[in-house]
Structure 1
């Protein structure tokens, strides 16, 4: 009889957690849907913002052109733009719902340790996205547009006519790729906090980190040297910053441990 009571007692908290999780997910979904509705009404302006690196790459006095070869392509471009913008707009609410679900199960010291990572995530992601949008893309697009030529040179004209969908995919991949890559310090410090890696292991693995940075940049960026170096070099710097951050947190944990051992 006692075993049945224990089973029923364990089911109740689990059911409560599942109900709370469903509520948090519904709130996050509702936030995304509302933001999507708002973003869809402004999708043309948002796409106009995303196309500015290409406009700058063409230069002053040159009017570029984006084409679409499928009748429905322009519509789906606006849908994808709205979804992309809606996720960015709703992310603070989604992150808040995730924190509200996880936080009650953490100790006060764990909350204090985890909260800086939660706050640093949007900041680092924005820094990476800004680097891609304002620095990398204009230079990379200008390089690619440099391969245009008139018929007097090659006997046939070469004109860049990028498609809307392909351009949007390229821009979103670069923004997301740079943004996620800039979360490297958060990932490494969380892995160290979980005991999966140590500062000494990270210091010993520098050469592998360099190779990995260039491998990741080769996958996430267009096939030009500028874009790959523009992502790989910041990733290597962020790797070193992660090692310094882990060293500082180790010192802080040692001070906390000594303070806890001192009798009140």
Structure 2
């Protein structure tokens, strides 16, 4: 066996070990959450924004045979991954860190932590603000002749799509900083493309959100503001590095 093959196999073994540790962390949290507070209680928390918007006494429905069991389990698994995310990210960081230069480590670790916090912040913004506004807005348009009773599986699919959309939206500052820091796109070109970013934000919002104006604006406007925040942070980082006598291109 050549030295290259031996190195490749050792990397695969380490990757397997890191993945196993991440999976064990998620499974351990999953077992704890299933025991307390329980899958049903966790789903009730997730469904609370919809239940508040429904007419008094109305409950959600389950059309599948095993849906009342599987949907809470899926929600608990999602919650377990979110709770265990620091461990998962640490395992990813521990795997790639030996191959990074010192200046790359200084940049990578803060970006990993920041991107994680921003993603969770996007999910929290979606749950506490967007869901309540969107569901209330949709409920006001429901005809008086019908009683809204959403299916829990369709609701879970909708919630996961919205969580992903808003979580990724809140990653825009990190993406902007990476583009500028790596020299892919200069700050001047980003600021010059501000109009295209606004148009693109509303197009993305129209595609990934429900067909209502409220949710589209609630995704597009934060996307534009976070873009400006990323540009501002990248400009401050650039000035700091220039003042220290090191250009971005030499990093």
Normalising by structure 1, we get a TM-score of 0.86
Q: CA RMSD in A?
A: 1.9
Residue number in structure 1 paired with 2:89: 95
Q: Distance in 2 between matches of 1:147 and 1:242?
A: 37
Please state if 1:121 is matched with 2:115.
yes
Residue number in structure 2 paired with 1:209: 197
Please state if 1:47 is matched with 2:35.
no
CA displacement 1:82-101 (0-9 Å, x = unmatched): 22112112211110001111
Is the 8 Å Cα contact of residues 148 and 158 (structure 1) preserved in structure 2?
Answer: yes
Is the 8 Å Cα contact of residues 53 and 136 (structure 2) preserved in structure 1?
Answer: yes
Is the 8 Å Cα contact of residues 28 and 97 (structure 1) preserved in structure 2?
Answer: yes
Q: Distance in 1 between matches of 2:40 and 2:138?
A: 25
Where does the alignment leave 5 or more consecutive residues of structure 1 unmatched?
1-6, 151-156, 260-264
Where does the alignment leave 5 or more consecutive residues of structure 2 unmatched?
none
Written as runs of structure 1 = structure 2, the 5 A alignment for 1:82-161 is: 82-150=76-144, 157-161=145-149
Residue number in structure 2 paired with 1:30: 24
Question: Size of the alignment, in residue pairs?
Answer: 245
Q: How far has the Cα of 1:195 moved from its partner? A: 2.5
Q: How far has the Cα of 1:258 moved from its partner? A: 5.2
Is the 8 Å Cα contact of residues 40 and 78 (structure 1) preserved in structure 2?
Answer: no
Structure (1 or 2) with the larger CA radius of gyration: 1
Please state if 1:14 is matched with 2:2.
no
Normalising by structure 2, we get a TM-score of 0.90
SS for the counterpart of 1:51 is helix
Please state if 1:247 is matched with 2:224.
no
Q: Distance in 2 between matches of 1:258 and 1:226?
A: 45
